[in-house]
Amino acid sequence: MNALFRPLFIQSFKSSGIYLLIIALILAISATTALKFSNEQIQDAVALQAAEMLAADLVITDNYPIENKWREEAKKLNLQQSNATVFGSMAFTNDQFVMVNVKAIDDAFPLRGELKVKENASEKIKSGEVWLSSRAMDLLKVKGGDTLNIADGQFKVGAEIEHDSNQELGFSAFSPTVIISQADIAKTNAIQTGSRIEHRLLLSGDAKNTKKFEQTFKAIVKPNKNDTTADNANADEQNSLRLRNASEGNTRLMKPIANLDTFLQLANILTILLCGIAIALTSQRYVQQNQDHIALLRCIGSTKKQILTAYLSLLAVVLAISIVVGCVVGLALGYGLLQLMLQLIPHIELQFSALDMLLGPLPIAMLTSAVVLLGFVVPSLMQLLNTPPIRVIRQQEKSVKSMLWMLLTGTLGLVIFSVVLTENLVLTLWVIGAIIVLCAVLYACIWAVLKFIQSLKWKVSAYVRVPYQSAFQITALALGLSLITVLAVLRTDLLDRWQQQLPEGTPNQFVYGLPPFDMPELKNQLDTNQWKSTPLYPNIRGRLVAKNDQPFAQELVKQNNSLRRELNLTQSEQYPTDNIIIEGSAKFTAKNEVSVEAKTAKELGIHIGDKLTFSLPEGLLEAKVINLRTVEWESFSPNFFFIFSPQTMDENAGSYLGSFYVPEQDKPKLIETIQQFSNTVFIDISLILDEVKRIVSVLVQIISLLAILVSISGILVLIACLNLLMEERKREVALLRSFGGSKQKLKQMMTFEIGFMGLVAGIVACLFAEVISAIASYKMDLMMQMHWEIWLILPLSMTLLCALIGRYRLSYLSEIPPLQSLREMNQ
């Protein structure tokens, strides 16, 4: 080993810089490892939560019997299988007749979640037995042991369903439901030519194998573009074979889960950046402490190669120590994090695997730390190797070229490994790119302002001694602070979005197929019972066939499901409350005007002023497009692709639909209402609403916990930034003391200077946080907004914090003899 290594090793471990560097590396390795591992576990756990609504990890559905090739493919991947068949039929007793949703299951059902019944029934349904939902029991007025007919089959009522999995595939799943055995389908004789029936093949197993099956399926069966799920008012049953995974089983879960995934990726990026800042600052502190040593080694004849080899060997030792300690801390932190989540979030299932951590995120974290360390140290080290011996007696400032190379190589390492950890190139480039641009612009602005203040020769100018150095410190401090703030801001934005999606009194009943002559009476009952409701919209079936008198191109028809099927059309003077007009006039002014959902308009090339032609049962209808609007398909209210101006269509040509909220204590009144309107379909969506609320509650707790954990890492980095800031002031304090500066004067100087830096850093951090959160909001499809509260809190809190640190952190130096302080500077 190089002869310089031993004395360099001994000397380095007598200084504070090497320990700060090791701590920063340990923080980087342990924090990124634990967070990445926890994120993977959280994603799997949330997928399992969503899978409980699907009763499986994957479900293949078709209106025709599912081909055996899919079962064979599932067997090859060791996936569990279950079969279910769903169809509508008439259930009746001697006195009551009710249209029900029949679900025939086998003994393996469900593969995820559970099927609970209230009575002391067997765990598996028996042939000749039927289980009923609460609404079906109430409408049919039956109890356990009674006889019930389903079409031509006679069954014994075995139990009342308390909780049923596999409730995700549309409103039909929430109609009065009865469950029978697969063996009893033929007994009912309900399935005839033209019957609406859905065959389901449920699959579950290892995440890797289910992913392989999903990829194989999608490679063979191409999904329809613009396909909408059946759980919204505009969706139709599709005749094509299709596959759903857990998150796609219900559209109301897709957006929260997608937002969680983006939030986790952002947490990874911010953690890497926070750790990168810590490594950059500590490595530069270490290099600065070694400037004199390198110059001295040059004076006694050491070659550049010997010095470089010695320092690289020392960095290898530092990295090895950091890896060992970081592994232990990362494993402990990962385990503790999962245990904490299990305690705080009882509904979530998490499993700790040290092997998965060692083979997964840990190697990436170690490599990331090594590359970032070398990226920030080597350029500075190379510049110091060219330091002339005169450096022993005269200070030499770091070259701009060296600083640029250091920032370039270090940032490149952060970008590469951010992409590796998040697997999201676009988000990584957006966030880091915005940060780089902001840092450059704001650094230049801060430097210019400080330089101007210094040139004024005012009293405050005395506190601005090295503008370029102060500007760099302020920018670094602001960046670290802003990265913490972003997660807190986004957490609040997500909570607001989800609360808006599921407010108190969200409709839990959906009415469909209401005849026009019954509409006034139902509306009167809703008002009498004080059941909060959406408007009852006329629902008329029709097809979009032409634009500006030209039929749509066949290629476009093939790609867009909305052109291949009948749509639910409506007319109304008012739009649904969650629709937002983004282009055009908000009000209808004449007949034959139409408002179009913005995404559909974009896909079909529809613009304001276009004339659209629709085919209705009574003939063709032409309407002029007056506006485009966004639609919240995840809401529990009716929504439409096309809304016409009043009196454009004959409302008696269709039926009415709407949604309303029924308090739990009014459920008996609801049964009476359903029986009164026997020609109308009433759909209970309270079950899916409860499931969505439960999963969103889990997501809220996860995000809150992650925001706190990443913030703790960020606070440690801020402490490191402030500590290094103080370290750089030690020499100045010692020099001022040696020239007779008073203790009080020193305290006042540190208070004002560091407090001023904290104020500027807080203001800059607010700007950083707003820009980064705006990018993340865009990626999460959240409304961009200003967060005025942080503009008050951050500058004020950072001013007070830094002022206190500046006043008391260095006050002890005033008690130390100046000569002793100066000697300690290079230890």
Indicate whether 2 pLDDT > 70.
no
User: Tens digits of per-residue pLDDT, 505-522?
Assistant: 778 888 888 889 889 999
Indicate whether 1 pLDDT > 90.
no
Q: How confident is the model at residue 314 (pLDDT cuts 50, 70, 90)?
A: confident
In a domain, 250, yes or no: no
Query: Are 24 and 73 part of one and the same domain?
Result: no
Query: Are 84 and 201 part of one and the same domain?
Result: yes
The length of the chain is 827
Q: How confident is the model at residue 30 (pLDDT cuts 50, 70, 90)?
A: confident
The total number of structural domains that make up the chain? 3
* Distances in whole angstroms, Cα of residue 159 to Cα of each of 52, 90, 201, 414: 21, 19, 25, 59
* Cα 143 from chain centre: 45
Residues pairing with 660 in the sheet? 509, 533
Q: How confident is the model at residue 497 (pLDDT cuts 50, 70, 90)?
A: low
Print the domain residue range for 161.
57-245
Q: How confident is the model at residue 392 (pLDDT cuts 50, 70, 90)?
A: very low
Query: Are 793 and 746 part of one and the same domain?
Result: yes
Contacts with 593 (C-beta within 8 Å, 6 or more apart), sequence order: 623, 624, 625, 626, 644, 645, 648
Check residue 533 and report its DSSP letter.
B
Residues pairing with 181 in the sheet? 105
Indicate whether 477 pLDDT > 90.
no
Indicate whether 822 pLDDT > 60.
no
- Picking from 179-193, 223-237, 470-484, 708-722, which range would have the lowest pLDDT averaged per residue? 223-237
In a domain, 686, yes or no: no
What per-residue confidence (pLDDT) applies to 632? 78
Query: Are 376 and 464 part of one and the same domain?
Result: yes
> How large a percentage of the chain has pLDDT more than 70?
72
What per-residue confidence (pLDDT) applies to 612? 94
Q: How confident is the model at residue 156 (pLDDT cuts 50, 70, 90)?
A: very high
Indicate whether 609 pLDDT > 90.
yes
> How large a percentage of the chain has pLDDT more than 90?
13
Decide: helix, strand or coil at residue 290. coil
In a domain, 687, yes or no: no
In a domain, 167, yes or no: yes
Q: How confident is the model at residue 203 (pLDDT cuts 50, 70, 90)?
A: very high
Contacts with 9 (C-beta within 8 Å, 6 or more apart), sequence order: 314, 317
Query: Are 221 and 282 part of one and the same domain?
Result: no
Tally of CB atoms within 10 A around 520: 10
Decide: helix, strand or coil at residue 399. coil
Q: Read off the pTM.
A: 0.62
Query: Are 630 and 709 part of one and the same domain?
Result: no
Query: Are 651 and 565 part of one and the same domain?
Result: yes
Whole-number average pLDDT of the chain: 77
Closest CA to 231 of 214, 203, 254: 254
Indicate whether 90 pLDDT > 80.
yes
Q: How confident is the model at residue 99 (pLDDT cuts 50, 70, 90)?
A: confident
**What is the mean pLDDT of the segment spanning 312-335?**
83
Query: Are 442 and 477 part of one and the same domain?
Result: yes
CA separation for the pair 329, 307 (Å, rounded): 32
Closest CA to 751 of 812, 799, 796, 719: 799
In a domain, 52, yes or no: no
Residues pairing with 90 in the sheet? 99
CA separation for the pair 705, 338 (Å, rounded): 11
**What is the mean pLDDT of the segment spanning 21-31?**
78
Among candidate residues 188, 222, 245, the one where a domain is terminated: 245
Query: Are 635 and 573 part of one and the same domain?
Result: yes
What per-residue confidence (pLDDT) applies to 230? 35
User: Tens digits of per-residue pLDDT, 284-298?
Assistant: 777 766 777 777 777
Closest CA to 768 of 154, 61, 277: 277
**What is the mean pLDDT of the segment spanning 226-245?**
52
In a domain, 105, yes or no: yes
User: Tens digits of per-residue pLDDT, 561-570?
Assistant: 788 888 889 9
Closest CA to 32 of 486, 422, 430: 422
CA separation for the pair 486, 269 (Å, rounded): 12
What per-residue confidence (pLDDT) applies to 608? 94
Looking up tokens 């590359």 gives 371
CA separation for the pair 424, 430 (Å, rounded): 10
Helix axes 743-780, 467-501, angle to 10 degrees: 40
Among candidate residues 681, 716, 748, the one where a domain is terminated: 681
User: Tens digits of per-residue pLDDT, 630-680?
Assistant: 987 767 778 899 999 998 988 888 889 998 998 888 888 888 888 888 778
Indicate whether 740 pLDDT > 80.
no
Indicate whether 356 pLDDT > 50.
yes
Higher pLDDT, 705 or 598: 598
Closest CA to 377 of 443, 310, 312: 312
What per-residue confidence (pLDDT) applies to 405? 62
SS (H, E, C) 460-476: HHHHCCCHHHHHHHHHH
What per-residue confidence (pLDDT) applies to 492? 76
Query: Are 362 and 275 part of one and the same domain?
Result: yes
User: Tens digits of per-residue pLDDT, 541-597?
Assistant: 899 999 999 998 888 887 787 888 888 899 998 898 888 899 998 889 899 999 999
> Encoding tokens for residue 417?
């490994």
User: Tens digits of per-residue pLDDT, 131-148?
Assistant: 998 888 888 888 888 899
In a domain, 541, yes or no: yes
Among candidate residues 218, 245, 272, the one where a domain is terminated: 245
Query: Are 457 and 321 part of one and the same domain?
Result: yes
Higher pLDDT, 802 or 225: 802
Query: Are 605 and 749 part of one and the same domain?
Result: no
Backbone phi and psi for residue 626, each to the nearest 5 degrees, phi listed first? -110, -20
What per-residue confidence (pLDDT) applies to 234? 38
Closest CA to 694 of 202, 346, 351, 350: 346
User: Tens digits of per-residue pLDDT, 248-275?
Assistant: 555 555 566 666 677 777 777 777 777 7
In a domain, 299, yes or no: yes
Q: How confident is the model at residue 344 (pLDDT cuts 50, 70, 90)?
A: low
